[in-house]
């Protein structure tokens, strides 16, 4: 589903992905805050289309651009015993002590924070963990 929002001019490029961190207190008096704050905090989004409409902004020096975005499932590692499609989980990073682990970004995905709640949209593949932890890669919504 495509959603309309505003993003800083220098970030407004079709295909770019970003994590929405939530509303800023500096924006509470802005007349456009309803359009800026209509995303889910912690959600990953991809810009589908950049529109010509531009607005001034207190935060972004170059202003903000109207964009169409879609929510992107976030991939991460999950303990195999908790991986059930459709279930709701509370995110926890995998405790890893292996320096240079090839799975580090999957076990510690950008934008996800401890105790955030997600739904397991899809179970992908088993992850080969150097520490022997039974993990699978999942897509979260």
Tens-place pLDDT, residues 7-54: 999 999 999 999 888 888 998 899 999 998 999 887 889 999 999 999
Number of H helices, E strands in the chain: 2, 8
The total domain count for the chain is 2
- The whole-angstrom separation of Cα 4 and Cα 94 is 34
Select from 72, 96, 129 the last residue of a domain: 72
Question: Shortest CA distance to 118 belongs to which of 139, 89, 76, 81?
Answer: 89
Let me know whether 7 and 66 are in one domain. yes
Q: How far is CA 26 from CA 31, 33, 57, 60, 87, in A?
A: 12, 10, 11, 12, 36
pLDDT category at 63 given cuts 50, 70, 90 is: very high
Select from 47, 72, 97 the last residue of a domain: 72
pTM to 2 decimal places? 0.74
**Range of the structural domain that residue 112 is part of:** 74-140
Let me know whether 9 and 58 are in one domain. yes
């Amino acid at each position: 589903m495509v959603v309309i929002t505003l993003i800083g001019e220098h970030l407004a490029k079709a295909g770019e992905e970003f994590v929405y961190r939530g509303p800023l207190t500096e924006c509470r008096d802005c007349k456009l805050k309803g359009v800026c704050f209509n995303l889910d905090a912690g959600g990953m989004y991809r810009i589908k289309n950049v529109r010509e409409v531009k607005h001034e902004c207190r935060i972004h020096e170059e202003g903000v651009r109207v964009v169409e975005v879609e929510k992107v499932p976030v991939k991460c590692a999950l303990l195999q015993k908790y991986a059930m499609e459709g279930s709701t989980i509370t995110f926890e990073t995998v405790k890893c002590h292996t320096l240079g682990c090839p799975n580090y970004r999957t076990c510690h995905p950008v934008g996800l924070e401890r105790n955030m709640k997600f739904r397991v949209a899809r179970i992908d593949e088993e992850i080969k963990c150097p520490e022997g932890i039974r993990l699978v890669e999942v897509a979260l919504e």
